[in-house]
Amino acid sequence: MHPRPMAVTAGPFLPSVRSGRLVCFVLTEKNRLGAIVVNILRLLFCLISMPLHILSIQSSVAYGHVGNCAAVFPLQRIGVEVWPVNTVHFSNHTGYGTWRGLVLPVESVAEVIRGIEERRVLPRCAGILSGYMGDVSLGAVVLEAVAKVRAANPDAVYCCDPVMGDVGRGFFVRPGIPEFMKNQAIPAATMVTPNQFELEHLANTKVTDLESALRAVDAVRACGPKVILVTSLRRQDAASDCVEVLAVDANEAYMTETPFLPLNVNGAGDMAAALFLAHWLRTGLIREALELTVAAVFGVLEATARAGEREIQLVEAQEAIANPERRFLARRVR
């Protein structure tokens, strides 16, 4: 006696074959609902497995890791497709005091972005990241690129890393750039990633404690950005042997604390901005993005300290980027 044949219902896009002939099945309401759920899950799986695409408009150096040279490799190690557009090409970063190379002509930067646009891929772009600008004239090119991407993909996020200066060094960019950042770039941005010095400039206030830090962040958010990441915070009401990172959105504020490492390096903030943008795009959660970013950056800085190097050890510590160990959990501060 042969077993009774099992009734098989074909999915809406997968016709069944029986006796060599295509047979259409009439789905019951229950099966129709099941098929819809299956196809939604398939779509979600495709979206999750698809790589993020980020347009990164930053500086480039031949030696060392700052700007795109600090952002592209970490993003690629976590599975992000990056379209790097370089604004300068220097021998090394300006922290050495001397360097060679050139600020790329505005027309050349715009041409590269135009070429990407001609490939008709801007609808895929989930985020635009901008960092160090060699000249204020590049600002208009960046904002034009943001407008083009948003026209192609209205959900695209613009992350502005407002590279201008640092505590102890003051401003180290050309005239006009601090004003451009405050008056034009920040209002256009979805996300801003200043260090403490840059936060104080953007908010027109001094940051001395947690309360003043949150007030400064709120002042910047009032200009337009939804999310703020303060990449290095040293305040009077915190331990002197630690460095804090603060992430704030409309609903929450979280902070992490890591041990202070005796380092004098550049590029860590560039890496942090890139990773935070990518992790936030994937999760939509500032706490998750903060913990993953801080874990990766600290892993790289720890390897740099062990090696006694002037440049951040991205290649040596790449496993800490791809698979960060969450040693520093974020605590909610608001």
List per-block mean pLDDT (blocks of 10 residues) for the chain, which spans 334 residues.
Answer: 41 37 44 62 51 95 97 98 96 92 95 98 98 90 98 98 86 90 97 96 94 97 98 83 94 95 92 98 97 97 96 97 94 96
What's the domain range around 64?
52-332
Q: In angstroms, what CA-CA distances link 154 with 135, 146, 167, 225?
A: 28, 10, 36, 15
Does residue 167 form part of some domain?
yes
Say how many C-beta atoms besides its own lie within 10 A of residue 99's C-beta. Answer: 16
Q: What is the pLDDT of residue 13?
A: 34
Does residue 85 form part of some domain?
yes
What's the domain count of the chain? 1
Does residue 14 form part of some domain?
no
| Model pTM above 0.75 | yes
Alpha-helical (H) ranges within the chain are 29-49, 68-77, 106-118, 138-152, 177-180, 186-188, 196-203, 210-221, 268-283, 286-307, 318-322
Does residue 37 form part of some domain?
no
As a dihedral over the C-alpha atoms of residue 229, residue 234, residue 235, residue 236, rounded to 10 degrees, the angle is 180
Task: Identify the CATH number of the domain in which residue 270 sits.
Answer: 3.40.1190.20
Specify the residue for token string 């505590």: 167
Q: What is the pLDDT of residue 38?
A: 55
Does residue 29 form part of some domain?
no
Does residue 136 form part of some domain?
yes
Does residue 233 form part of some domain?
yes
Does residue 7 form part of some domain?
no
